Amino acid sequence: MDCSFIKLYLELLDRGQLNKELEEGIKSHIDYCKECSQELEEIREINNLFNEIQLPSLPMDFTSRVMGRIREDSTSPEKNIWQEFSKWGVSFVAAGLIMFLLNFVSFDFNIVTLTITEKNPDIINKVFEYAPSNILNRGFEQIEEIIENIGDRR
Amino acid sequence: MDLEERIHSIQRGDISQFEWIVEEYKNKIFSLAYGYTKDSYLAQDLTQDIFVRLYKNINSFQGQSSFSTWLYRVAKNQCIDWTRRNKKRMENTFLEEGQWDFKDLDIGPEERAIRKEKNQLLYEALESLPEKYRTPLMLFHFQNLSYGEIAEVLDLPSKTVATHLYRGKKLLREKLISKGRGDMLWTALL
């Protein structure tokens, strides 16, 4: 075992949380490795400090205060929308898919091809592709405007 | 009633079971909150906020991890949010005099003063650590979590947790020595 590996497990050695095999391996390494032995000492010093740390105590009525606030704030936990969604998710996806297909397969499906011939023999083909009928109507209005403009220029 | 049944009961709307949760975990959450706030009143408020959030989000606990892992994850996130919101205030905060729950009640004023100084130094040194070292150290020492449990709470591999604990402790020692203004005070404290 090399030192960089040993150092990561010194903490657990101090806590007695290593399995027997690893504990014996690390202990025998520490017996001859000054650097790791020093590391263990330093860890123990800090751990002693942590063990002595003192905390102010919570007031006796802390739990009832928390419960009081919860009762004031809300009557029930928030619903987990994702959890709710997951119950209905498949149905939503199926409904969405059907609507999407209907949108493109039904009578609303239109391809309008407009061919505009100018003075030159060049032909400009513009393809407008609109699915919902209201957008299609707007498209027709634009086409009419373009045709009128061409007529004016002539 | 076991923990799982209690949680299901809360999720079905039985608020009284949450009281048991608060009673069971309040000291651990408070010690974590105190590590971030260094003030018992602020830590109490923060602990309350954490429990209120836990209750509100109890339905998002689906048992993918253990309840305590989920609880510590929520608590840790709220503590970090609190620190970000109160960064300026924290710069000038010292440990308050407050009521200290010293285990040995027979200690005299001198010993009490030394212990207070140790607490002060340790909390200040912890506060000055980068977040990635500070949180694993607090979870390891204040919550007594294992490497594996910390790894779950922080969503990190166990080996990374071991590395962060090792480096964090090294850095903590350096900070303690510099805060103790040299080895003399450091030696006196240990």
pLDDT per position as a tens digit, A22-38? 999 999 999 999 999 99
Count Cβ–Cβ pairs < 8 Å, chain A vs chain B: 117
In angstroms, what separates the C-alpha of A57 from chain B's closest C-alpha? Answer: 6
More confident residue, B72 or A78: B72
Joined together, the tokens standing for residue B28 give 């651990």
- Report the domain count for chain A: 2
Kindly tell me if the per-residue pLDDT of A62 is higher than 90.
yes
Please give the share of chain B, as a percent, with pLDDT higher than 70: 84
Say if residue A41's pLDDT is above 70. yes
Average of per-residue pLDDT values in chain B: 84
Mean pLDDT (chain A) is: 76
- pLDDT at A122 (0 to 100): 53
- Closest CA–CA distance from residue A25 to any residue of chain B (Å): 18
How far are the Cα atoms of A48, A97, B59, B126 from residue B62, in angstroms, in the given order? 38, 29, 7, 33
Q: A56 vs B99: CB contact, 8 Å cut-off?
A: yes
- The arithmetic mean of pLDDT across residues B77-104, rounded, is 68
Residue A127 within any structural domain of the chain: yes
Judged by a CB distance cut-off of 8 A, whether residue A87 touches chain B is no
CB contact under 8 A, B51 and A55: no
| B33 at interface of A, judged by CB pairs closer than 8 A | no
Domain ranges of chain B: 1-91, 100-190
Residue A13 in any domain: the answer is yes
What is the structure's pLDDT at B162?
Answer: 93
Residue where a domain terminates, one of A52, A73, A88: A52
> What percentage of residues in chain A have a pLDDT greater than 70?
66
Q: A5 — contact with chain B (CB < 8 Å)?
A: no
Give the architecture (CATH level 2) of B100-190.
Answer: Orthogonal Bundle (1.10)
The pLDDT of residue B82 is 92
Looking at the complex, report in whole angstroms how far the Cα of residue B80 sits from the nearest Cα belonging to chain A.
20
Give yes or no for residue A83 having a pLDDT over 70. Answer: no
Report the pLDDT value the prediction gives residue A140, as an integer from 0 to 100. Answer: 79
* Residue A136 domain flag: yes
Nearest Cα of chain A lies from the Cα of B187 at a distance, in angstroms, of 10
Task: Find the mean pLDDT for residues A62-72.
Answer: 91
Buried b (16+ CB within 10 A) or exposed e, A93-113: eeeeeeeeeeeeeeeeeeeee
Contact B165 A11 (CB under 8 A): yes
pLDDT in tens, A90-128: 777 888 888 887 776 554 444 444 445 455 555 444 444
Tell me if chain A has a CB within 8 Å of the CB of B22.
Answer: yes
Phi, psi of A2 (to 5 degrees): -95, 165
Q: Does A75 fall in a domain? A: no
pLDDT confidence of residue A128: 45
Q: Looking at the predicted structure, is the pLDDT value of residue B29 above 90?
A: yes
Please say if the pLDDT value at position B156 is more than 60: yes
Distance from CA of B84 to the nearest CA of A (A): 23
Q: Give the closest of A11, A45, A55 to B31, CB-based.
A: A55
Q: Tell which CATH architecture fits domain B1-91.
A: Orthogonal Bundle (1.10)
Rounded mean pLDDT, A61-82: 78
| Assigned domain for A113 exists | yes
Is the minimum CB–CB distance between B107 and chain A shorter than 8 Å? no
**Tokens of residue B80, six digits:** 């970090």
User: Looking at residues B82-96, what average pLDDT do you find?
Assistant: 70
| Token duo for residue B164 | 């962060």
How many Å apart are CA B95 and CA B147, to the nearest integer? 29
Contact residues for A115 (Cβ-Cβ < 8 A; gap 6+):
A123, A124, A125, A126
A62 belongs to a structural domain: no
The domain of A113 spans 106-153
Q: Which of B4-8, B155-159, B179-183 has the lowest mean pLDDT?
A: B179-183
Which pLDDT belongs to residue A130? 46
The residue of B60, B172, B189 whose CB has the most chain A CBs within 10 angstroms, and thus the best one to mutate to test that interface, is B60
CB contact (8 A) between residue A45 and residue B190: yes
